[in-house]
Amino acid sequence: MMIDLGRIDTSQPIDLTTLCNTKIYFLEPFLQHFGVQLTDEGIDSFTAKVNIEVQHAKEHVIAAIERNGGVITTAFYDMESVMALADPEKFFMSYSDAASRGYLADPEEVAKQRLLWAQKYGYELPDLANDPDFAMLSIRKEPRQVFYGLEPGWVVNLRDKVILKPLDPDHQAYYVNN
């Protein structure tokens, strides 16, 4: 139905976010909705070629997708991930909000918020630039970085206790430029 109504672009992969963005499918994580079970309704007339990720599908539903040349993947998400996928804009709002010191927030806006809160709560904002711990206090991860000290594109091999870094110039350029 969502494909027939033009709510889903079948030339792109379809996942939980895609389905929620149709505004036809509503996911309620707080009601313990963990995702999508793809059902067999309309299976006999289904002709679209899709790349779809859902949380559950029965064998004959999987066969219907693959019969048309499509691919299907089933994936589990924890509840926090379901909430993020259901409404990414709402989920990431706090991470881009200077008031909550979000890692995606504009640094200039964060500086303004720091000053506002110092005034609101009645303290003098410390001058971090002159702080003896300035080097430590000014360290920030870039948005694609998960761990301090590990750059995007690096792979951690826990068994051998080594960090593998891309050597190919194209890979290095990709992680520098993206």
* Nearest CA-CA partner of 73 in 13, 26, 18: 13
d(CA 111, CA 101): 10
Question: 105-138, pLDDT tens digit by residue?
Answer: 999 999 999 999 999 999 999 999 999 999 988 8
The pTM score is 0.58
Amino acid at 77: Y
pLDDT at position 143 is 81
Residues of the chain with pLDDT under 70: 178
* Nearest CA-CA partner of 33 in 55, 1, 10: 55
The Cβ of residue 130 has, within 10 Å, a number of other Cβ atoms equal to 7
pLDDT at position 74 is 92
Residues 6+ apart with CB under 8 A from 18: 8, 12
* Nearest CA-CA partner of 85 in 34, 42, 47: 34
